[in-house]
Amino acid sequence: MRRIETYDFWRELLSLKDDLSLRELAERFNVTPGAISAAFKRTGTARLPAPPGPRALRQRGGFPDDEIEISFRGPVGDLVRPGSKDHLLAPWRGDLGRVPDAEVAERAGVSVRTVASFRARNAIPGYTGPRRVRRDGDERHAWRIVIRHEGNDREGVVLAETLAEAAAQVQLPGGRLVSVTWLGELLSPAAG
């Protein structure tokens, strides 16, 4: 294959090398980024790296800061990252670090990991308040029980943590357990 420094577009490519990324140059001149990089090494051509930030904003020249809603500005007036869920967290930015990430995630409709990443990127400390206490075995559920006794089915509801406990609670001499169906978790743990 012919080396790209011998092509007619080489001079134009050199004039744009500091303004565009290798990927953008490759797309413009229909060659691979690796071929351009190799040609620069062979010819000893140095280039400045592309400026930081999203390419889309560089191409459009960015947005003036006064045209951006306050809720979409980052800590130093930066835009939220394109394609991210940061805009979903903007309304709850004041709650970050004051309430658990799980609560903010639930309100914003994102994952806890998304909230934690957003806090880390924006140097917001985590929640340090009291932790939720999880008690194993406190969840009680309602179970629908059907028992066949002397040819008739009898239905009832029992409260238990597991299906096995619900089935064990049912005692009807001469009766046979037909089905156990989970109805749902109790809304009030004090009940039952």
Each of the 192 residues of the chain gets a pLDDT tens digit; together they read 678 888 889 999 999 888 888 888 999 999 998 999 999 999 988 887 666 666 655 555 555 555 444 444 444 445 556 677 888 888 888 888 888 998 888 888 889 999 998 888 888 888 888 876 655 556 778 888 888 888 888 888 888 888 788 888 777 677 788 888 888 887 765 544
Q: How far apart are CA 13 and CA 36, in angstroms?
A: 9
Phi-psi region of 97 (alpha: psi -120 to 50; beta: other; left: phi over 0): left
User: Can you tell me whether residue 6 is helix, strand or coil?
Assistant: helix
The partner residues of 142 in beta bridges, in order of sequence, read 159, 184
Tokens representing 191 are 């009940």
State the pTM of this model.
0.33
Q: How far apart are CA 164 and CA 104, in angstroms?
A: 36
Which DSSP helix (H) or strand (E) runs through 156?
strand 152-160
**Cα atoms found within 13 Å of the Cα of residue 169, Cβ hemisphere only:** 17
Amino acid letter for position 148: R
The partner residues of 96 in beta bridges, in order of sequence, read 99
Which DSSP helix (H) or strand (E) runs through 40?
helix 33-43
Q: How far apart are CA 86 and CA 176, in angstroms?
A: 57
